[in-house]
Amino acid sequence: MKTAKELIISIETSCDETAVALVECSGGLESPKFKVLKNGVFSQIAMHREFGGVVPNIAKREHEKMLPVLFSETISDADLKKASLIAVTVGPGLEPALWPGIEFAVRIGKENKLPVFGTNHLKGHLYSFLLSNPRSFKNIFPSVALIASGGHTILLLLKGIEDFRKLGETRDDAAGEAFDKAARLLSLPYPGGPELEKLATSGDPSFIDFPRPMIHQKNYDFSFSGLKTSLLYHIKGTHKGDWKEANHAIAVRASSDMPHAADIAASFQKAVVDSLASKCGKAIREFGAKSLILSGGVAANTLLRSELEKTALKEKAKFLAPEWAFNTDNAAMIAAAGYIEHLKGKKRALKANGNLSL
Ligand code: KG4
Ligand code: ZN
């Protein structure tokens, strides 16, 4: 069935990026297509850096301040007249950060007589590959999808775009969180993932043989907190000891240059990537998947992308990942998720839900 083109305005404020987009959506559920016309992002990273992580109340304050500015810079009156819907993230995420986005969307919706649709941030990540792969939608199912972000690490099996089930997820830290915590132990600034990747570029990934947690287990779950503990003990120079004592040792060492920091970073990164790639490969084989979809902020990691691409190719599956601008949090992906969920007839309360699941 052919459906008319729709213009969707989208708003995302679930963490530390204020984002607004305008996306032309068409094709219906059979073959959804997206053309990102405008994609505005204001990053709060500089504001949170001195605290070593995202501070919810600062995030809220900055979203309140920046959203009206970004919105008027990105969306014109003509866009508002042509749009059919406003999609706004209602979760998961930091609730104080979600509130200003939802309030703003409701106000703009009322003023312009536009319906407002509550959207799931994780669906946004999941569908972000569609923003830049207009033709790759054909023959991709069944598909295995990995969402790896700062708050989630989830492996899914998709039979269709809106027909999926969870195969597994992390039992403790998310992959992005593991990168962020490891980076902190290596005295790198927030957000740790990209900083750790930069440092790892000049390092030897075989320098330390970190554990690959759960790699030999039959399930599709992940675990990264043991890996972080291994890193901590390695930096401390012992494999035994008390966590608090070890933390103290790190704080003392943080001021001096850590020997082999690049090798440690490269070894840690390789261990995380191997854990993710091994479960993806296993799932592709077990379910005869025709594609592997990667998304979430950690999809910006070059090693992860190349290893997952190799994993997919080895199993004769297509590798699908968003283009760089759509890996980390953005609003264009929220328009894509809003379009698909809206067509599916999904309804969500316009209320922040920090723990909203897929
Ligand atoms: O999807 P995202 O922007 O926000 C959440 O929904 O959580 O993901 C952010 C996470 C952070 O943990 C960040 O360190 C990680 O993605 N990340 C990376 C890289 N770029 C971002 N991790 C590893 N390598 C990267 N290049
Ligand atoms: Zn995200």
State in Å: Cα 127 to ligand 1 middle. 17
Which of the 8 DSSP states describes residue 257?
A: P
Q: Which ligand is nearest to the CA of 191?
A: 1
Q: Looking at residue 4, what is its pLDDT?
A: 84
- Phi then psi for residue 136, to 5 deg, are -85, 5
State pLDDT tens for residues 166-194: 999 999 999 999 999 999 999 999 889 99
Question: Which residue among 328, 333, 334 has the greatest number of ligand 1 atoms within 8 angstroms of its CB, and so is best to mutate?
Answer: 328
Mark the ranges of the chain whose per-residue pLDDT is less than 50: 1, 238-246, 248-256
- Token representation of residue 234: 């390695």
Q: Which ligand is nearest to the CA of 54?
A: 1
Q: Looking at residue 3, what is its pLDDT?
A: 65
Cβ of 151 below 6 Å from ligand 1: yes
Alpha-carbon distance 124 to 149, whole Å?
Answer: 12
Q: Looking at residue 52, what is its pLDDT?
A: 87
List, in sequence order, the alpha helices (H) in the chain: 45-49, 56-74, 77-82, 95-112, 121-127, 175-185, 192-200, 225-236, 243-253, 261-287, 302-314, 332-343
Q: Looking at residue 136, what is its pLDDT?
A: 64
Cβ of 297 below 6 Å from ligand 1: yes
Ligand 1 atom with minimal separation from the 151 CA? 7
Cβ of 13 below 6 Å from ligand 1: no
Cβ of 32 below 6 Å from ligand 1: no
Closest CA to 12 of 107, 116, 119, 106: 119
Alpha-carbon distance 90 to 358, whole Å?
Answer: 12
Q: Which ligand is nearest to the CA of 331?
A: 2
